[in-house]
Amino acid sequence: MAAKTAAPAVDNTPVVLGDGLTVATPIVEKKDTTPRVRVRIPPAPEADAGILVDPYEHVTINGEQPVYVMRGEWVDVTVPVFMQLRNKYPNL
């Protein structure tokens, strides 16, 4: 049975050798440094009348993938999404 040994570091990330055949590196999570704003969009007025309504507000910026913001709950959104929501909901 082979002894567990540590291999030299590659790009300042330690490489862990398990059994001589398996090589694993620790997963480094990327932190999102984009500034965010905490908002709460009011629920749709139709929801009070018992009508089935979409619980999300859809925000599309520059034709990119839409961002879905849940109505009635606190959500952290990016600044461009906040600016678009502010245009629709001025008391945000």
DSSP 49: T
Closest CA to 38 of 78, 89, 87: 78
pLDDT(36) > 80: yes
pLDDT at 14: 53
Strand 74-78 with 36-40, pairing: antiparallel
Do 56 and 13 fall into the same domain? no
Do 17 and 43 fall into the same domain? no
CA distance 67 to 45: 21
The arithmetic mean of pLDDT across residues 21-47, rounded, is 82
Which residue range(s) make up the domain with 12?
A: 1-29
Do 42 and 25 fall into the same domain? no
Contacts with 36 (C-beta within 8 Å, 6 or more apart), sequence order? 76, 77, 78, 79
pLDDT(75) > 70: yes
Do 25 and 42 fall into the same domain? no
pLDDT at 32: 79
| Structure tokens, 14 | 């330690």
pLDDT(30) > 70: yes
What would the pLDDT profile of 47-59 be if each residue is shown by its tens digit?
777 778 888 999 9
